Amino acid sequence: MNPVLHVRAFQDNYIWLIRGRSPDRVAIIDPGDAEPVLEALETQRLQPAAILCTHHHGDHVGGVEDILKHYSVPVYGPARERIPAITHRLNEGDHVKIPGLGLGFEVLDVPGHTAGHIAYYGTGMLFCGDTLFSAGCGRLFEGTAEQMHASLSKFSALPESTAMYCGHEYTEANLRFALAVEPGNLHAQTYRDQARDLRAKNLPTLPSRIGLERQVNPFLRVHTPDVRHSAEKHIGGRLDTEVEVFAAIRRWKDGFRG
């Protein structure tokens, strides 16, 4: 039995349904749209046990209130962001025990994409919203390069077997950029081919693994000489710190059209 089901929403969002010890009960991660979630719950005969939110953007929380019209469940989310339906406000170090699922998650503060973004880590799984993507990371809408680099460093320090579930299917586009930064990265080349095959079959590239992300994701590789040299070549100048390298490739990615 797959412990995590995906629900597609909008153009490229994934809403995650996490099973626990009871196969018919699930926790819902980042329901930006209620309709596909309610349909999945009905067709697969599932009952929600909780809703978990990572950040306040509408494509991650827009369906919460409509789901609550059908099911009375607790809503967990970041303490430092305004999400009206939240019943349990969370900060770094808090632990979430989902009723009826037998699952628990540690809360990580991971600002950068938004100021109060959080992630959920436990049972070998990471639900990271829009902070980390496979082969990429989120844009800096509300946070700083220093914050995002620190947030990504938390993820990179997790066990390499950790399954990473993010909020969007961006893998192919991210790998095009990753290979612009590191054209000789054989791991990224292999992953690009695998991702192409999966998407040709309309299958998700997710979950990824933290170990794989360390090998292919330029935003987790700012400490490496190849990424530093590529970033310096792109800007035509010297970069002295990992944060400066990160900021340079994040700006490069913002304008990348490869």
Choose, from 55, 56, 117, 149, the residue flagged as catalytic.
Answer: 55
DSSP at 168: B
Establish whether 60 is a catalytic residue: yes
Choose, from 33, 56, 130, 149, the residue flagged as catalytic.
Answer: 130
DSSP at 216: H
Choose, from 6, 56, 60, 117, the residue flagged as catalytic.
Answer: 60
Choose, from 33, 59, 109, 149, the residue flagged as catalytic.
Answer: 59
Establish whether 55 is a catalytic residue: yes
Residue 227 structure tokens: 């990424």
Q: Which amino acid, residue 254?
A: D
Helix (H, G, I), strand (E, B) or coil at 167: coil
Establish whether 187 is a catalytic residue: no
188/173 Cα distance (integer angstroms):
12
Choose, from 6, 56, 113, 149, the residue flagged as catalytic.
Answer: 113
Establish whether 12 is a catalytic residue: no
182/185 Cα distance (integer angstroms):
5
Choose, from 6, 56, 57, 149, the residue flagged as catalytic.
Answer: 57
99/50 Cα distance (integer angstroms):
8
Establish whether 130 is a catalytic residue: yes
Q: What DSSP element (H or E) covers 50? A: strand 47-52
The set of catalytic residues is: 55, 57, 59-60, 113, 130, 168
